[in-house]
Structure 1
Amino acid sequence: MNTLKTGMLLAAMTALFMGLGFLIGGPKGAMIAFFVAAAMNLFAYWNSDKMVLRMYKARQVDETTAPNYVGIVRELSARAGIPTPKIYIIDNPQPNAFATGRDPEHAAVAATSGLIGMLTPEELAGVMAHELAHIRNRDTLTMTVTATIAGAISMLANFALFFGGNRNAGGFIGTLALAILAPMAAALVQMAISRTREYSADAGGAEISGNPLWLASALERIDKAARRAPNEEAEANPATAHMFIINPLNGRGRDSLFSTHPATANRVSALREMAQAMAQAAGRRRN
């Protein structure tokens, strides 16, 4: 995600935030919302990764506490040509993972205990390579800032609904419409950037790990298991769903309405095509 796209994303989120501020307090409310959004963007740039890790009660680990997991991340980081990020485990039965941080020098990866316990070392390598690809592509700043602002938009929308908003700014119907539509618009922005980014990270992760089929196998297993194990922290904070490798809200059917992830079957198909192309290229080199 380049700087221009990141700027456009933040501008769209800020506009939604200002619109809700106008509903609640008119022009003054919009101005206050603008300054709050500016402060929030600055705060999110420096602290959103820490907020997300704290939200999911992630604990940092090292070679002593999680030698296999940490060893895989360190080896893959060297292959990716980036500094080894801080490494965390989230005590949650749902198999999942995400990356966060404002740049490769200030990044972190987190995997759930369910993921580490369920996958083979090769599949785990495929997943963590995907997350390192996000870091190398500098997707993580956009992911964490978007989660912070989208969550704030949802909170402000609930506030507008509860207090009724500015009666001169479209009345109750206008308040109701924007309070409902603003979070939906924020979700659509997340969807638009997330689906393309996931395919890119899949391809990058396959290149880093050296075997696309490792990630393909992991995605199939994670997707099935995630549907059977709701992630309560994610359900309470749906604005962070786009950060995970598989939609953490899959445990409940209604959550698929605004899924930020492309269909797992399509991702697996693309990875298998990539594996076939790599095998054909290797065969030509041998000949």
Structure 2
Amino acid sequence: MELRHLRYFVAVAETGSLTVAAEKRLHTSQPSLSRQIRDLEDEVGAPLLSRSARGVELTAAGRAFLDHARLALAQVDAATEAARRASKPAKQVFALGFLTGHEMTWLPRAMRLLSDELPNIDVTVSSDYSPDLADALARGKLDLAFLRAEPGFDLDYRVVDHEPLVVLMPSDHPLTSRDSIRPEDFSGETFIAASNKATVLRAVIEGYIEWCGLDITPQHGVDNLAMAMSLVASTRGLALMPAYARNLLPGSVVSRPLAGTVPTIDLAIGYSRSNTSATLKLFLSRADELAASAALS
């Protein structure tokens, strides 16, 4: 008994027709297929198919044989795939992380840097808050991430962009009539600031408030952009957030640029210096292209 006998029998059983199985599934002649089925039945020692003018039907022996034939073919296919995988070296995984929302801009640029290596590696992509990305880098769960230069982690950072801060406000707020927002426009408004978890953003915002000489007491603190947008809409407050927020705003929230000297927050690529990945080394050797692409956008 050969594998082709099993494949021929399963094809006939599933189509219910020698003609259809021969022409559509097996691409052979019907007489040849009939001979193969007879040879199989001779070896089994029992008729497997009942032939009539309406086509073919499985006999009791055929029904019993079909499940085992399918299992045998499935096991052969699995064995073949396992052998093929074993004959090839496993692909290296390169794990990329992105501060949520930045993958829209930076993932295509990162993939261009890795284009020559893509046939040889598997790239995984995840998005998260910046402190969580830094923690994942430190624990070896990520190879490289686009994030803030988070303090308190034994990581190296390279700045790839300086993002201006913009003002978020409800879409029907009176200040939406302005082309830009002046520091004094914050007076009397509910102000939504970054929480202690968003360490880097909080420091930039507090530095701007102090530089402007504003007397602002934040009413709310947020860990991330999603929370900021929700509070802006629900409290009708104002928030300072990095400019990438403009790509993610719901209809209830709009943005306006700041007038005058605009504070910026750095976006960096972070990695562990103890990571010996050859793909990471290649990526870092071309990292200057990332900063150049940001300057052109």
Q: Shorter-chain TM-score: which interval?
A: under 0.3
The structure carrying a bigger strand percent of its residues is 2
Considering only CA atoms, is the larger Rg found in Structure 1 or Structure 2?
2
Q: Which structure dedicates a bigger proportion of its chain to helix? A: 1
